C-alpha cells in the first residue's frame, strides 16, 4: 500500500487510480465470499 500513499514521479495518477480500483474490486469480491460462507455456516447449523 505504500506505493499508493507515496508520491513518486514514476507513477502517474491513472496508474495509482487503477491500482486502487483493483484493490476496491478485490475487497468487494472477498466481502461477498465471506458473506456467502457465513450464510452457508448458518444454514448448516439450523
Instruction: Quick: pLDDT tens for 25-42.
Output: 777 888 888 888 888 878
pLDDT at 3: 53
Q: Is residue 1 part of a domain?
A: no
Q: Is residue 18 part of a domain?
A: yes
Asked if the model's pLDDT at residue 13 lies above 70, the reply is no
Q: Is residue 3 part of a domain?
A: no
The mean pLDDT value for 8-15 works out to 63
Answer left, alpha or beta for residue 27, where phi above 0 means left and psi between -120 and 50 means alpha: alpha
Q: What is the DSSP letter of 10?
A: T
**CB of 3 closer than 8 Å to CB of 19:** yes
How many domains, the chain?
1
Tell me the residue range of the domain where 20 lies. 8-44
pLDDT at 28: 81
pTM, two decimal places? 0.40
Amino acid at each position: 500500500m505504500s506505493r499508493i500513499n507515496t508520491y513518486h514521479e514514476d507513477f502517474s495518477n491513472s496508474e495509482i487510480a487503477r491500482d486502487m480500483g483493483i484493490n476496491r474490486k478485490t475487497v468487494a469480491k472477498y466481502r461477498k465470499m465471506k458473506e456467502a460462507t457465513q450464510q452457508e455456516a448458518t444454514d448448516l447449523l439450523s
